[in-house]
Structure 1
Amino acid sequence: MANKQQQAHRQSLEDPEGFWMKHALELVDWDKRPTTALPGGPASHRTEWFPGARVNLCYNAVDRHAAARGDQVAVVYDSPVTDTVRRYTYSDLLREVQAVASMLRRHGVRRGDTVLLYMAMVPQTLFGILACARLGAVSVIVFGGFASAELAKRIQDSRPRVVLTNTCGLESRTKIVAYKPLLDAAYELARFRPQSTIVLQRDQLRVPIDGARGEFHWDAELAAAAPDAPAVGCEPVDAGHPLTVVYTSGTTGMPKGVVRPTAAHIVALLYAQRYMYGLQPGEAAFTLSDFGWTLGQSYAAYGPLLNGSQTVLYEGKPVGTPDAGQIYRVLSQHKVRVMLCAPTAVVVLRRADPDGLFRTKYDLTHVRGLFLAGERLTPEIHRWWSATITGRTPPPPDAATIVCDAEIAGLVSDNWWQSESGSPMTGICIGLGTSGADVPPVKYGSAGLMMPGCDLRIVRVADDLEEGDAEPAGRELQLADRDEVGAIVLKLPLPPGFPSTLWNNEERFVKEYFCRYPGYYDTGDTGMVDSEGYVHVLSRTDDVIKVAAHRLSTSSIEEVIFGHRAIAECCVIARPCPVKGCVPMVFGALRSDVAQGTAAEQVRHEIVQLARTRVGPIVSLYPHNVVFVDRLPKTRSGKILRKMMRMMVSAVCEDGAQSPDECPIGVPATIEDASVMMSIWRSIIEACAPA
């Protein structure tokens, strides 16, 4: 019998009009209510949800709650790097957002203008994001400290009327990243300077402001705008009006500016908040992600506030600011009910505190759900996090599922997002019922069940198709059977919340997502749907290794390697092979209690044997292709830079690069620590050097 989540999913596909209209009218305050959810006609990549309706996100996230529950806490700013905890009620939030909106209006911002925010994880960033929505302006949020070259591309493409920035970001209590020089360099590269650059001075770094170049002090401009602030109302916009532009963080070429339509995004976020995450008004949500990433925008900025809940803004890292107990402290101190983060954060915690000693200091019995997204959650990490958070005995390695208790408490679940989707496409809904009996079992290794509106299919990848090729005209797509691995696609029409286009590039929008598999959105991911309807996202399409004509998922190999007790984290990429085409190459970081030298060599051979036993001899993993490193290269959002590593291996194995001090691969704009890149480069040269 289908569970409540599967029933809701079926209803959303059989009657999308009725399903989404019901939730749109129940959850959203409209300036002009929709009369239909989905226009008729053939399914198209340009699905306009709630046509004819008008709405304002800021009103739904701030004003209506300030009127109903003004004294309730809306925002908690927790910064261990500055020893600051500050709370804002909904009434406080309304005043702050009105003030910033008034400031932006004084600088000429009107409906449809773009405003770029290049800021740290501070409350003023949130005020700016919501102020843009209040005015009907289009926010472009760029991760603070982003490299000048990549920042310049986003400035050049979006051409903002105003840029909001602050003087610095704080990596730790002693490490300061100066933003102003990076922004100035980006202006030069872009050959574009906005009408106004408004700079928030932080105590940790104060810089000169040049009024002749259109630069202004945030505090002074805010004070000047204060008298008009109460009169700055919410500007209603059409349902499809761009709310924000989210630039994907590619390592080469121009990033894609995903345009998020307003009304559909509001409905999608509210549905997920209430029914997937089970978050109720007044409860606290903690999203460990910067505003510059989709997860941070959707669920640190918009989602909890739309829902009338609290959002916890955290300025710091899982470890080192100052210790590995910060996540547990935040969960406990702010009575967090729901947490979202990337699996990498958990991997880092396990490496720093494998026995969960910091966890034992805090009462976390109030935590209802912990959701992980951004990379695949391996079963080993899933089991460790579940046991650590709940304080229960770890499940046996052969355990296939977690069944929810009678009371929903401490449930850990993977959920699958993309920058494009804006909200989860799969996961486990803990908010569709009042007890654990209403929650589907969590299955290790899967990303959960399909979310309403997401009609996911698996397509067999034809051997004669190269990466990027479109299906030949007239050839029918070969949909895969259950438990069969292939390309994951989403049947049109796109569900609410997906992009309406790419900023200034409709042609690329169609080519990138809809040409390869006509009638479907190409997710770019590989995976399968099992016999019970659970979706298993194995890897990006370009993370599939073809070994002697056999397609192997790198994440499947990683899952096996993670099972070795000595491995703290790892990633697998393809190494060119003249005989088999490609073979896997493992980069792993050992746990701190594992000795180097002889012990490491033993682990290397054990990993090879483990892969041959669990995956099969076809895996073709050899000891010389198991490389131990101190750290893996990651983005600031915690994703491992696999593409960069593949390019490095190719440069050595195919192009013959051999200099340990000159890497021909450019430094990715999103890398957290560039020094790790050169360390990896030298390890690759050593491992791939001719015998």
Structure 2
Amino acid sequence: MTSAYPEIYQAWKNDPQTFWGKASALIDWYKPATKIFDPEQGPYGRWFAGAECNTCYNMLDRHIEAGRSDVPAILYDSPVSGQKARFTYSETLEQVMRLSAVMQDFDIQKGDRVLIYMPMVPQALFAMMACARLGAIHSVVFGGFSADELAARIDDATPALIIASSCGLEANKTVSYKPLLDKAIASAKHQIKHCLIHQREQCRCELITGRDHDFTELCEQAAGREVPCTSVAATDPLYILYTSGTTGKPKGVVRDNGGYMVALAWSMGALYDIHAGDIFWTASDIGWVVGHSYIVYAPLLIGATTVLFEGKPVGTPDAGTFWRVVAEHKVKVLFTAPTALRAIKREDPEGKLLHQYDLSSLEALYLAGERADPNTLEWAEQMLNRPVIDHWWQTETGWPIAGNPRGLGILPVKHGSTCVPMPGYDVQVLDDAGHPAKTGELGNIVIKLPMPPGCLPTLWQADQRFHEAYLDEFEGYYKSADAGYMDEDGYIFIMSRTDDIINVAGHRLSTGSMEEVIAGHPQVAECAVIGIADKLKGQIPCGFIVLKAGVTQAHSEIEAECVERVRDQIGPVAALRTVLTVNKLPKTRSGKILRSTMQKIADHEPWKMPATIEDPQTLDDIRDCLHQRGIGTCSEATKPAA
């Protein structure tokens, strides 16, 4: 099959406004745009200026009006609680309508902010859609975030209402959210008058009289109330999402209504080959952009069914849980993070659990969130015998920058590449001086302005900060802060964050390329490489490896073999002499390895415990491991900064 991608990408490049004007037909509008793109608005222009719409209407009402009220919208599967639920489009609308009515009773109006602090439960999705229905702006904060981080987001977004759950559930523990919420509200400068608390039976909490209200009780009382959709400008904010790992004042990415809907709806068909009635599962969390875009908004915008999963790739109960969900719910496309796949591979390297399930419904596996090393990708291809597609995007863009557009006809797969740019993205590679890099040469990956629909128009109440963070370094371009290269076919290779490019005796080296080589060792489940300070060479690389389950070979032998692999495949210039074995790598809850924090520990620099860390103990283990090898010390400078 010949792919239509080259022709479609060229059509966008020839006439972007006509391209996106046609794509906007995927969405129902109350009022059409007066300008498809207005360059005079915002820091770089705004899409669908003058148009009016409602995102909740496009997700629910219009599908019901088209006779699809009994089609499943949400399939809830929670191995940590043992609960499952199915909500049709009409049942979902009923729940959203009830919550919208309750929010109206608290005087929530268009433009008000609502903070959502909930785990992966259907009520969280109802809350997001209820905000969209009323024209309110939601800000989802990952359930279980620390009180300090939550307080910072309360002060930045200044919400009129907080909707929270009493607890979240992990594989072996219950995390009580209410004490964290109470502490955050007490320390925040912005005053919170009302909280809606969704009580979970696993851990009910005490409600503060006058401020806290029972979510379920009020929603039941609102049964049968009709709440019409509020018309908002296409350029009005739909939500604020704070980027992970921020320090100091949080950085709130703003997402608009109109452009976001158009981009997501287009991507579902063109990139994922998902259409109305298909079952789509994004194994992520609503605290992250992946969850916003491809658990909640995109599937329902096109009338598909979304799987809402509350669990982990391993431990709930085992490394076969993903395949059980695919088989049970007849999932057509699964989208997860490479780190989830590596965890499954580590526990079940031969795929014994995978082969217990009927995966005949599954057509493709998509990966994003962190670089997919070729070794893991090849393992998944062998196990599944289906396309395994790595693609690249960011919180800021809201939808993929580059990928393999299966819906347009799949392109040849190149392991290690996120494939080609999507329409809307003019991706280029520049050196540090802003000059075009040569084909195959490592550089700064940037996107020529304007950004396409769906991308952030700015940061929440921080236009100047938006300029400084993304636009000022390379004039006329958005700085992705990712480093990589493009090959002769226009394929994009993301190697690392620009912060992870290390300078060894004047040679710019990607830690990602070294990780790729180390990951190819047959005993290594996953790895990370950081650059640490060196008086002679400026920086030298240091590798960390996690071994597969059941490995009996001596760790020192494996470490030496990894060093030799890098020397053979990259060369002595890489100067990798140290590889350390650890039980787990420090990661955020979305699966990103905390390389910069690891580097600070190794370089004796003050560091702050990241708000999004999955397991704080892993950083202590890294520090101890470095200390045992004489690389880091347990001095005051390597302890978390106050």
TM-score, normalized by the shorter chain, greater than 0.5: yes
2:623–2:632 Cα contact (<8 Å) kept: no
Where do 1:242-391 residues align within 5 Å? 242-390=237-385
1:149 Cα deviation after fit: 1.2
Question: What is the CA–CA distance in structure 2 between the aligned matches of 1:673 and 1:441, rounded to whole Å?
Answer: 38
Q: Distance in 2 between matches of 1:133 and 1:357?
A: 44
Match of 1:616 in 2: 571
**Aligned-residue offset at 1:684:** 1.7
Deviation at 1:2, TM superposition (A): 9.1
Once residues 6 and 470 of structure 2 are traced to their aligned partners in structure 1, the CA distance between those partners, rounded to angstroms, is: 26
Q: Secondary structure of 2:35's partner?
A: coil
Match of 2:180 in 1: 182
Residues 320-340 of structure 1, C-alpha deviation per residue, up to 9 Å, x if partnerless? 001111100111111111111
Q: How does 1:490-569 map to 2 (within 5 A)?
A: 490-569=447-526
Amino acid at match of 2:602: V
CA contact (8 A) 2:601 2:632 kept: no
Q: What residue in structure 2 maps to residue 195 of structure 1?
A: 193
Question: For residues 44 and 163 of structure 1, what CA distance do their matches in structure 2 show?
Answer: 29
How far apart are the structure 1 equivalents of 2:369 and 2:630?
30
| Counterpart residue type for residue 223 of structure 1 | E
| Residues 1:638 and 2:591 are matched in the alignment | yes
> Is the contact made by 1:16 and 1:38 (CA closer than 8 Å) also made in structure 2?
no
Q: 1:478 aligns with which of 435, 440, 443?
A: 435
Structure 1 gaps of 5+ residues are 391-409, 433-437, 463-476, 656-663
Aligned to 2:413: 442
Aligned partners of 2:78 and 2:310 also within 8 Å: yes
Q: Find 1:582's aligned residue among 526, 533, 539.
A: 539
Q: Which deviates more from structure 2 when the two are superposed, residues 666-675 or residues 375-384?
A: 666-675
Query: 2 CA distance for matches of 1:577 and 1:8?
Result: 49
TM-score, normalised to structure 1's length? 0.90
2:212 is aligned with 1:215: yes
On the 8 A contact 2:43/2:463 being kept in 1, the answer is no
Deviation at 1:274, TM superposition (A): 1.1
- Alpha-carbon separation, structure 1, partners of 2:39 and 2:603: 49
The answer to whether the 8 Å contact 1:264/1:497 transfers is yes
Q: Measure the CA separation in 2 of the matches of 1:130 and 1:387.
A: 39
Aligned to 1:404: none
Alignment match, 1:670 = 612
How far 1:211 moved relative to its partner? 1.6
Among 35, 46, 49, the alignment partner of 1:48 is: 46
How far is the alpha carbon of 1:83 from its aligned partner? 1.4
Deviations 1:202-224 (A, max 9, x none): 00001111123x11111222133
TM-score (norm 2): 0.96
Residue 457, structure 1, aligned to residue 428, structure 2: yes
Q: Pick closer, same or farther for the CA change 1:684–1:431 going to 2, 3 Å.
A: same
| Contact 1:75-1:312 at 8 Å conserved across structures | yes
Match of 1:466 in 2: none
Matched to 2:610, the amino acid is P
Deviation per CA, 1:282-309: give whole Å up to 9, x if none: 0110001110100000000101000100
Number of residue equivalences: 632
Q: CA offset at residue 39 of structure 1? A: 2.7
Counterpart residue identity of residue 416, structure 2: G
Counterpart of 1:658? none
* Letter of the structure 2 residue corresponding to residue 196 of structure 1: H
* Residue identity in the other structure for 2:523: A
CA distance in 2 between partners of 1:689 and 1:376 (Å): 27
AA at the equivalent of 1:388: M
CA distance in 1, matches of 2:590, 2:39: 39
Deviations 1:442-462 (A, max 9, x none): 110001110001000100124
**Distance (whole Å) between structure 1 residues aligned to residue 268 and residue 288 of structure 2:** 18
Amino acid at match of 2:531: A
Residue aligning to 1:65: 63
Q: Tell me the residue number matched to 2:640.
A: none
Query: Partner amino acid for 1:307?
Result: I
Which one of 619, 629, 633 corresponds to residue 687 of structure 1? 629
The answer to whether the aligner puts 1:225 opposite 2:222 as a matched pair is yes
Residue 9 of structure 1: aligned partner: 9
Q: Retained in 1: the 8 A contact 2:42–2:457? A: no
Cα drift, residue 12 of structure 1: 1.1
Deviations along 1:539-576, whole A, 9 cap, x unmatched? 10000010000000001000000010111111000111
What is the CA-CA distance between 1:666 and the residue it aligns to? 2.7
Distance 1:318 1:630 in 2: 17
Shift of 1:113: 0.2
**2:35 maps to which residue?**
36
Aligned to 1:649: 602
Secondary structure in structure 2 of the residue aligned to 1:102? helix
* Structure 1 SS opposite 2:628: helix
Q: CA–CA distance in 1 between the matches of 2:56 and 2:542?
A: 48
C-alpha distance in structure 2 between counterparts of 1:44 and 1:146, whole Å: 31
Amino acid at match of 2:629: A
CA–CA distance in 1 between the matches of 2:78 and 2:529? 35
| C-alpha distance in 1 between matches for 2:549 and 2:480 | 37
The CA deviation at 1:677 is: 1.9
Tell me the SS of whatever aligns to 1:346: helix
> Is 2:518–2:565's contact at 8 Å kept on the other side of the alignment?
yes
User: Shift in Å at residue 121 of structure 1?
Assistant: 0.2
Task: Find the residue that maps to 1:50 and give its secondary structure.
Answer: strand
Give the CA deviation at 1:188: 2.2
Say if 1:689 and 1:49 are closer, same or farther in 2 by CA, change over 3 A. closer
- Aligned residue type for 1:673: D
SS at match of 2:502: strand
C-alpha separation in 2, matches of 1:618 and 1:275: 42
Q: Distance in 2 between matches of 1:315 and 1:70?
A: 25
| Native 8 Å contact 2:42 2:458 kept in 1 | no
Letter in 2 for 1:129: M
Matches within 5 A, 1:93-104: 93-104=92-103
Q: SS in structure 1 opposite 2:220?
A: helix
Q: Is the deviation greater in 677-686 or in 198-207?
A: 677-686
Query: What is the percent sequence identity of the aligned residues?
Result: 43
Corresponding residue of 2:636 = none
What is residue 472 of structure 1 aligned with on the other side? none
Query: Within 2, Cα distance between the matches of 1:92 and 1:2?
Result: 41
CA–CA separation in structure 1 for the residues paired with 2:229 and 2:311: 33
Letter in 2 for 1:640: I
C-alpha distance in 2 between matches for 1:37 and 1:325: 46
Kept in 1, the 8 Å contact 2:439–2:487? The answer is yes
Which residue of structure 2 lines up, in the alignment, with residue 473 of structure 1?
none
- Matched to 1:430, the amino acid is R
Please point out which of 539, 555, 558 is paired with 1:600.
Answer: 555
1-structure distance, mates of 2:265, 2:173: 37
Q: Distance in 2 between matches of 1:546 and 1:559?
A: 18
> What is the DSSP-based 3-state SS (H/G/I as helix, E as strand, rest coil) of the residue aligned with 1:49?
strand
Shift of the alpha carbon at 1:687?
2.1
Residues 284 and 338 of structure 1 are in contact (CA less than 8 Å); yes or no, is this contact kept in structure 2? yes
Does residue 393 of structure 2 align to residue 417 of structure 1? yes
Counterpart CA distance in 2 for 1:543 and 1:565 is 25
How far did residue 250 of structure 1 move? Answer: 2.2
Aligned-pair CA distance for 1:251: 4.3
Amino acid at match of 2:397: S
The 5 Å alignment of 1:67-82 reads 67-68=65-66, 69-82=68-81
- Distance (Å, rounded) in 1 between the aligned partners of 2:223 and 2:7: 50
User: Aligned equivalents of 1:70 and 1:358: distance in 2?
Assistant: 36
Determine the C-alpha separation between the residues in 1 that align with 2:618 and 2:467: 37
Counterpart Cα distance in 2 of 1:301 and 1:676? 31
